[in-house]
Amino acid sequence: MKQIPEQYKKFPSSRYMGSKNKIITQLYNVFKDLKFNSALDLFSGSSSVSYLLKCMNKKVISNDFLAYASNLSKSIIQNSNNKLNKNDIKILLKKPKNYDQFVQTKFKNIFFNNKENDFIDFVRHNINKINNPQKKALAFSALTKACQKKQSRGIFTFKGKRYDDGRADLKKSFEVQFLEAINIFNHAVFSNKKTNLSLNKDFTKVKNKCDLVYLDPPYYSKYSDNEYVRRYHFIEGLVKNWKDLEIQEESIVKKFKKYPSMFDTKMGSYNAIKFLIKKYSKKIIVLSYSSNSLPTMEEIKEIAKYHKKKTKVIELDYTYSFGTQKKSSKMKNRIKEYIFIMK
231 inside domain: yes
Examine residue 22 and state whether it is found in any structural domain, yes or no.
Answer: no
The Cα 67–Cα 200 span in angstroms is 6
Give the mean pLDDT of the chain: 93
Q: Identify the DSSP state of 65.
A: S
Is residue 183 situated within a structural domain?
yes
pLDDT at 15: 79
Contact 270, 299 (CB under 8 A): yes
Assess whether pLDDT exceeds 90 at residue 255.
yes
Instruction: Report how many domains make up the chain.
Output: 1
What's the predicted TM-score (pTM) here?
0.94
Q: Is residue 113 part of a domain?
A: yes
Q: pLDDT band for position 167 (50/70/90)? A: confident
Task: Encode pLDDT of 71-122 as tens digits.
Answer: 999 999 999 999 999 999 999 999 999 999 999 999 999 999 999 999 999 9
Count CB atoms within 10 A of the CB of residue 276: 21
What was the pLDDT predicted at 152? 81
Residue 8 confidence (pLDDT) above 70 = yes
pLDDT at 161 over 80: no
Model pLDDT for residues 138-155, shown as the tens digit of each residue: 999 999 999 999 998 899
Band of pLDDT at residue 303, cut at 50, 70 and 90: very high
**Are the CB atoms for 65 and 90 separated by under 8 Å?**
no
**pLDDT, tens digit, 9 for 90 and up, residues 48-57:** 999 999 999 9
Q: Does 104 fall in a domain?
A: yes
**Domain presence at residue 147:** yes
How far does Cα 77 stand from its chain's mean position?
A: 12
Residues in the chain: 343
Q: What is the pLDDT of residue 324?
A: 46
DSSP 37: S
Asked if the model's pLDDT at residue 333 lies above 90, the reply is no
Q: How far apart are CA 208 and CA 117, in angstroms?
A: 39
Predicted local confidence at residue 328, as pLDDT: 46
Q: What average pLDDT does this structure show over 183-209? A: 97
User: What pLDDT is attached to residue 329?
Assistant: 47
Least Cα distance to 67 among 50, 45, 52, 49 occurs for 45
- Model confidence over 212-238: pLDDT tens digits? 999 999 999 987 778 899 999 999 999
H helix runs in the chain, sequence order: 24-32, 48-55, 67-73, 86-93, 102-106, 114-127, 133-149, 168-171, 174-188, 228-240, 266-279, 297-305, 330-333
For the stretch 168-177, pLDDT in tens is 788 899 999 9
What average pLDDT does the segment 2-11 reach?
A: 93
Decide if 314 is inside a domain: no
Domain hosting 110: range is 82-188+227-260
What was the pLDDT predicted at 160? 82
**Beta bridge partners of residue 213, listed in sequence order:** 40, 285
Identify the H or E element spanning 339.
strand 334-342
152, part of any domain: yes
When pLDDT is averaged across residues 16-37 and rounded to a whole number, the result is 94
| Contacts of residue 308, Cβ cutoff 8 Å, sequence gap at least 6 | 277, 281, 285, 342, 343
Asked if the model's pLDDT at residue 325 lies above 80, the reply is no
Stretch among 123-132, 245-254, 268-277, 321-330 having the lowest mean pLDDT: 321-330
